């Protein structure tokens, strides 16, 4: 025998293992990409995505609409302004995509997951002391 260490073969039960699929559970992504959509398609997709994120108790939603002619950007911001699920929305920062991304903060009845400083940076809320 050679001095090299021989590897054991994997057991048959572990060779074909796949992650079990759970039906009925769908974790929504925080982002929705509207590139290539028409205005009427994007409108329904934004509303559906907002409702999924709200039901999943996400606090922030990113709507990626791109720069383009500005139709999708205006449509997205109009929908977010009129929506009862959104507390506020604003354009993304330079690293997030700039004006080609709109970030919406969802409203859960006055509950805020974080505080904001005067320069608009997010500060996590302190846990209550016991």
DSSP letters, 67-96, are: STTSHHHHHHHHHHHH-SSEEEEEE--GGG
Q: What is the pLDDT of residue 97?
A: 85
Q: What is the pLDDT of residue 72?
A: 93
Residues 6 or more apart whose CB falls under 8 angstroms from that of 100 comprise: 64, 65, 66, 67, 73, 92
Q: How confident is the model at residue 94 (pLDDT cuts 50, 70, 90)?
A: confident
In order of their start, the domains of the chain are: 28-109 (3.30.1370.110)
The structure's pTM equals 0.65
Q: What is the pLDDT of residue 121?
A: 60
pLDDT surpassing 90 at residue 17: no
Which helix H or strand E contains 31, and what residues bound it? strand 31-33
Question: How far is CA 33 from its chain centroid?
Answer: 10
* Cβ 94 vs Cβ 104: under 8 Å: no
For range 92-107, the mean pLDDT: 89
For residues 78 and 43, give the distance between their C-alpha atoms in angstroms, rounded to a whole number: 10
9 versus 1: the higher-pLDDT residue is 9
For range 99-108, the mean pLDDT: 90
Q: Which residue has the tokens 């074909």?
A: 16
Q: What is the mean pLDDT of the chain?
A: 79
Q: How confident is the model at residue 108 (pLDDT cuts 50, 70, 90)?
A: confident
Q: What is the pLDDT of residue 65?
A: 92
Residue pLDDT, tens place only, 35-81? 999 999 999 999 999 999 988 888 899 999 999 888 999 999 999 99
């Amino acid at each position: 025998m050679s001095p090299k260490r021989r590897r054991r073969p994997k057991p048959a039960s572990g060779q074909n293992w796949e992650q079990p699929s759970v039906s009925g559970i769908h974790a929504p992504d925080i982002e929705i990409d509207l590139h290539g959509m028409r205005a009427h398609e994007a409108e329904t997709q934004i509303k559906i995505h907002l409702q999924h994120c709200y039901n999943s108790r996400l606090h922030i939603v990113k709507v990626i609409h791109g720069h383009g002619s500005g139709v999708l950007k205006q449509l997205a911001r109009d929908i977010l302004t009129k929506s009862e699920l959104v507390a506020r929305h604003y354009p993304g920062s330079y690293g997030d995509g700039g004006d080609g991304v709109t970030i919406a903060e969802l409203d859960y009845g006055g509950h805020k997951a974080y505080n904001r400083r005067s320069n608009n940076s997010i500060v996590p809320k302190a846990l209550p002391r016991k």
